[in-house]
A and B are shown apart, each in its own frame.
Chain A
Amino acid sequence: MRRQIPLALVFIFGVFMIFQYFVPHESSEWIYEFLLDWIYIIGIFALALGIWSLIRVSVAKIKARKADWEYPVITLAGLFLMILFGFTGYRDGSLGFHFMTAEGLSNPMFRNFFDYIMIPIQSTMFALLAFFIASAAYRAFRARNILASLLLVAALVVMLRFNPYLGPVGTIIADTASWLLNVPNLAAKRAIIIGIGLGMVATALKIILGIERGYMGKG
């Protein structure tokens, strides 16, 4: 029963969503919109589950004084501070508790935490990619064989396409790079996308028919 019910639900709703794509009638649309509302509700519960899971794991680490237990303290402090700032704000000049209203979003502390901590940290992590790309390119772009040499030449051409210092050669490189992007790259990507699309349809079909059960956690 524990396995049959989820399989039955997946089959029913999977078939309905396929059916809904081909049936524009209002009744099918009504059920579809009803399901959309339910998915939003489930999404909110998933968020709550995530927060609960994070708190549980962090508290367990702190209680057991595991290695680096100080970091979960910072994690929990950040979590609760942002919640506090997001739910409090100024209305008519006085600070108050405003649950799920716009005042929290305009709370200066909320904005400061976001603008001066979140944004710089996330941008910095993304900026690390530049360095990793450099080291990965240095390591991997070696002309070991013909295919590797083609890869190397293509990479050089595309990297040089924005370079303004190459004069007329630069124009040729830019046109070659455009050709590379619009012809062989496009063809290869299109083929990969078609393959992925077919794979997705096949996997979705397997899930609907109950052949693929990995999502239930028991393989």
Chain B
Amino acid sequence: MKYKSLVILLFFFCAFTLSAAQEDAAPVDTVQVDSIPPPAPVSMLTAKDGENDHGHSITLRWELSADDGAGQNSVLSYDVFRWVPFFMDTLQSIGDSLDAAEGAVAEQLREQRDQAIAMIPQAHTSYPEQGEWRKIGVTVSGQSSYKDVGVKERESADYLADHTDYYYRVDAVTADPAIRASSEIVGPVQSYGQLFNTGRIPVFVAVLVFGLLTILFVTRARRGAELYVRPLAGIEAVDDAIGRATEMGKPILYVLGLGTAADIGTIASFTILGRVAKRVAEYQTKLIVPCYDPIVMTVAQETVKAAYLDAGRPDDYYEDIVYFVTQSQFAYVAAVNGTMLRELPATNMYMGVFFAESLILAETGALAGSIQIAGTDQVAQLPFFIVACDYTLIGEELYAASAYLGREPILLGSLKAQDYAKAAVIILAALGLLAASLDWTAFINLFSVTS
């Protein structure tokens, strides 16, 4: 009896002490951890190969747990698990040993690693034996998708092999990580690379349509159809400018710009240079072509040489017509400015890719009293050329200049195709404006490009 009373007394003492300790303790989180019931698991978990990629990725989607933002509102995050065979640890250890090894040992380990990598798909078929579930990622509550993205480098620890069976599950997790609910297991699912990126269909259609338009008009032009192109003041002035230089006995300065030979603006400039050089050769006027890029210089030399040959004056060509200056922007400009002020050319032509030096060139040319014709696709430099030069080719007019100068049917044909493409863009833009105003999202979505 006494013993029993002692136990009861001890019990009440402990209970009293504990409750007093709780009152004295710092305030605890209001969430009573030991009172959280297990949450509802996620449902409708699906795993699919990642879309429009090179493979090595699986996209998981699920319906949110009933206790995420509703119900008990206890779900704080979702842990994503993938079943990983123990074989992958073996592979990892081979990789780690390889990092420290050298010589013949490294070679042997490399062979072992390659053989092991080839066995990854087979290792995954041992599910559910010889492996375990490993957490690969976490998302916050409210998120109902996760992308398991691996790399394609087979030697990397993050390699996710294609054509391999993967199994996933998603746990809804509460404030206590031990209190969670697992979803159903989904799998096997395999990743693989797509052969066509469906998110880029609008671009594909546009390229096809534009290509067909080009072929159509080039074919028409070849058959002798008359194609009207509006006159460009800058192009019309080229002949007059060359004539002016010839009469004054002064040279023509042709600047190809600061682009590389791969830039479309520079390529357009080569074509214009060829035509200008031919006229210059015919009139036996001096031509000066300082170059910024060595490859551009090489191409320009060939262009001018060929032009002189076409004009029937191969002997008038000499190496120093086209010369390399420097690949430093302002050093190049300083050199060209010096040339302008010493040689006092009658005509300056700036055709190509220009940057901040455009105004320095144009103003110095104006100082030298030259007539100036410029053309660039660099939108930022257009205002400077417009203000400081006599004639300016704006943007695509530079690309069209070669067609204008030569009047070749093929080139004119491609120009017409561009014009029709622009007309199509204008019509579609107007329709898009209408669609956006009337909320016709289906029409707008037709043109959306993803990934």
By a beta-carbon cutoff of 8 Å, the part of chain A in contact with chain B is 18, 21-27, 29, 46, 49-50, 53-54, 57, 75, 121-122, 125-126, 128-129, 132-133, 135-137, 139-141, 189, 192-196, 198-207, 211-212, 214-219
* Chain B, Cβ-Cβ closest to A122: B330
Contacts of B275 in A (CB 8 A): 219
* B295 and A49 contacting across the interface, CB-CB below 8 Å: yes
* B204 and A198 contacting across the interface, CB-CB below 8 Å: no
* B359 and A57 contacting across the interface, CB-CB below 8 Å: no
| Partner of A215 from B53, B261, B297, B305 at Cβ < 8 Å | B261
Contacts of A201 in B (CB 8 A): 207, 210
* B193 and A129 contacting across the interface, CB-CB below 8 Å: no
By a beta-carbon cutoff of 8 Å, the part of chain B in contact with chain A is 52-55, 152, 162, 193-197, 200, 203-204, 207, 210-211, 214, 218, 261, 264, 267-268, 270-271, 274-275, 293-295, 297-303, 305-307, 310, 323-324, 326-331, 333-334, 356, 359-360, 362-363, 366, 377, 379, 382, 384, 387-388, 394-396, 398-400, 402, 410-411, 414-415, 417-418, 421-422, 425
* A203 and B268 contacting across the interface, CB-CB below 8 Å: yes
* B327 and A199 contacting across the interface, CB-CB below 8 Å: no
Contacts of A27 in B (CB 8 A): 193
Given A46-B294, A198-B422, residue A203 in contact with residue B306 (CB < 8 A): no
Given A132-B363, A203-B264, residue A214 in contact with residue B298 (CB < 8 A): no
Bound CA span A141–B384, Å: 12
Bound CA span A200–B267, Å: 11
* A126 and B356 contacting across the interface, CB-CB below 8 Å: yes
Bound CA span A202–B217, Å: 12
CB distance from A69 to the nearest CB of B (A): 14
Bound CA span A156–B302, Å: 47
* B396 and A199 contacting across the interface, CB-CB below 8 Å: yes
* B402 and A121 contacting across the interface, CB-CB below 8 Å: no
| Partner of A26 from B193, B326, B396 at Cβ < 8 Å | B193
* Chain A, Cβ-Cβ closest to B297: A53
Total number of residue pairs linking A and B with CB closer than 8 Å: 183
Query: What are the 3 A-B residue pairs with the smallest beta carbon separation, nearest first?
Result: A217-B302, A199-B396, A125-B330
* B197 and A24 contacting across the interface, CB-CB below 8 Å: yes
* A50 and B197 contacting across the interface, CB-CB below 8 Å: no
Bound CA span A57–B333, Å: 18
* B218 and A132 contacting across the interface, CB-CB below 8 Å: no
* Chain B, Cβ-Cβ closest to A49: B294
Contacts of B197 in A (CB 8 A): 21-24
* A219 and B303 contacting across the interface, CB-CB below 8 Å: yes
* Chain A, Cβ-Cβ closest to B50: A24
Contacts of A204 in B (CB 8 A): 264
Contacts of A54 in B (CB 8 A): 294, 324, 326
CB distance from A76 to the nearest CB of B (A): 12
Q: List 14 A-B contacts (CB under 8 A).
A: A25-B55, A46-B295, A50-B324, A121-B330, A122-B330, A126-B356, A128-B360, A129-B360, A136-B362, A136-B384, A198-B396, A215-B261, A217-B270, A218-B306
CB distance from B381 to the nearest CB of A (A): 12
* B270 and A50 contacting across the interface, CB-CB below 8 Å: no
CB distance from B227 to the nearest CB of A (A): 14
Contacts of B333 in A (CB 8 A): 125
Given A21-B200, A24-B52, residue A217 in contact with residue B301 (CB < 8 A): yes
* Chain A, Cβ-Cβ closest to B195: A25
* B356 and A129 contacting across the interface, CB-CB below 8 Å: yes
Bound CA span A2–B210, Å: 30
| Partner of B267 from A133, A140, A212 at Cβ < 8 Å | A212
* Chain B, Cβ-Cβ closest to A199: B396
* A24 and B218 contacting across the interface, CB-CB below 8 Å: no
Contacts of A214 in B (CB 8 A): 267-268, 270-271, 274, 299, 303, 402
Contacts of B324 in A (CB 8 A): 50, 53-54, 57
| Partner of B379 from A24, A141, A192, A206 at Cβ < 8 Å | A192
Bound CA span A135–B267, Å: 32
* Chain B, Cβ-Cβ closest to A137: B387
Contacts of B415 in A (CB 8 A): 202
* B418 and A198 contacting across the interface, CB-CB below 8 Å: yes
CB distance from B332 to the nearest CB of A (A): 10
| Partner of B359 from A22, A46, A129, A194 at Cβ < 8 Å | A129
Contacts of B294 in A (CB 8 A): 46, 49-50, 53-54
| Partner of A24 from B53, B267, B329, B400 at Cβ < 8 Å | B53
| Partner of A199 from B214, B299, B359, B377 at Cβ < 8 Å | B377
Bound CA span A162–B323, Å: 44
Bound CA span A122–B418, Å: 40
